[in-house]
Structure 1
């Protein structure tokens, strides 16, 4: 990663330039048996499409606040980087009634309806599948995102000092977020090629750092596990070996 990178979007661009084919996010859901692996290039493509949806179709602008009502999931990671690409503040678990936009998983739709702005729903089905029946009052992410452009350019350059992320009662600018991710990576001993396995949720900074930002800041990758408590110790040890995990959080 480059020392001049000051936002998560900068970190992703540097990762793409360095080695687009390496894994970045490997996602498991141990309740469904789902496994998805995204290379840097594939992840960046999802981010570009989502950022284009956010900026174009949804009309989001820098400084707008997006309530992100999603669990730890590869699509949640995509939305976090898409927000950073546009300059939108991602409020993890934020109040939809106070937000300009809301992005919700299937379990939070009733709560998300309190948002008076644009609403997007994710089915969180394997392979990014759509809802069998789109929820009333929501755009179905899986329907809207495929037709978006594969390249993204913000209408307004993202200010690294602008608000970027709100989680656990704390708000960070993009520059603060990036600096803290680097610090966490150093504390964990992460570097190029590191593989971090984590079962932490995305509702705290520690979970977001372990499950996305620290690896992105260090040239590493993430094995993000949802419902990890359903896995036996033997199965977990096998996963650590098969995924070539170097660090567990």
Structure 2
């Protein structure tokens, strides 16, 4: 179903054309007890709304650099695909001072102020909740995104040769290269359609981004994405793997 997809956005479209009701991202935060499960359709809706926010309200242009200062989180996965869909270059952990836009979690707001362009803040609260008091100099994602459109169409087509992802260290991958690496990572992880991968890796490099979203998406699989997994006792981790029908873990 995904063999001909040439961009990350096309991978998501292919997943929607299959079984849109199946889980894609199941997120746990073991510091707060939060659990969120997003189907392919729900995840795609968040991506569409976020891409519309990027393109229309924030004025992002194809090729703009988006510094993503966020931990491994379901909302980070949404921003990653939204950036790819809008044609911006997503830079996880990138330098805000060198970026056209920045998206920050609550712990990196001071650093994010170095960005001279648009700034968006995520509270990372359960259920996508907003900040009690919006941070000065930032748009609150939870306030801005609900009113965005449920469908997204880029003003300019985003093809496989468009720059898409800047990895820590400066390597830039095109959209097509992201897809190719995602498929390669899926094969290395032994992911097949329907697999459930549990990942506790940070989104600070390719391995974490692949395990946390891109490889399962490329393989028609799903991910159980865990933040603060080191706080979960071994017996509870075993119970989670059983309850979530995990077939692989990293």
TM-score (norm 2): 0.99
Q: Does 1:112 align with 2:112?
A: yes
| In structure 1, C-alpha distance between the alignment counterparts of 2:9 and 2:116, rounded to whole Å | 28
Q: Secondary structure at the match of 1:119?
A: strand
Q: What residue number does 2:182 align with?
A: 181
CA offsets per residue over residues 150-174 of structure 1, 9 Å max, x none? 0000000002112110122122111
Q: Does 1:225 align with 2:242?
A: no
| In structure 1, C-alpha distance between the alignment counterparts of 2:247 and 2:193, rounded to whole Å | 11
Q: Secondary structure at the match of 2:107?
A: helix
Q: What residue number does 2:93 align with?
A: 93
Contact 2:94 2:168 survives alignment (8 Å)? no
Q: What residue number does 2:27 align with?
A: 27
Q: What residue number does 1:243 align with?
A: 244
Q: What residue number does 2:235 align with?
A: 234
| In structure 1, C-alpha distance between the alignment counterparts of 2:102 and 2:216, rounded to whole Å | 27
Q: What residue number does 2:214 align with?
A: 213
CA offsets per residue over residues 87-140 of structure 1, 9 Å max, x none? 000000001011000000000000000000000000000000000000000000
- Once the two structures are superposed, the pairs formed by residues 145-160 of structure 1 within 5 Å of their partners are 145-160=145-160
Q: Does 1:121 align with 2:121?
A: yes
| In structure 1, C-alpha distance between the alignment counterparts of 2:91 and 2:218, rounded to whole Å | 21
Q: Secondary structure at the match of 2:186?
A: helix
| In structure 2, C-alpha distance between the alignment counterparts of 1:94 and 1:48, rounded to whole Å | 23
| In structure 2, C-alpha distance between the alignment counterparts of 1:71 and 1:2, rounded to whole Å | 28
Q: Does 1:6 align with 2:6?
A: yes
Structure 2, unpaired ranges of 5+: none
Structure 1, unpaired ranges of 5+: none
Q: Secondary structure at the match of 2:181?
A: helix
How much does 1:196 deviate? Answer: 0.3
CA offsets per residue over residues 190-241 of structure 1, 9 Å max, x none? 1110000010000010000011000000000000000000001100000000
- 164-173 vs 174-183, greater mean Cα deviation: 164-173
CA offsets per residue over residues 26-77 of structure 1, 9 Å max, x none? 0000000000000000000000000000000000011000000000000000
- 95-104 vs 158-167, greater mean Cα deviation: 158-167
How much does 1:144 deviate? Answer: 0.1
| In structure 2, C-alpha distance between the alignment counterparts of 1:25 and 1:214, rounded to whole Å | 12
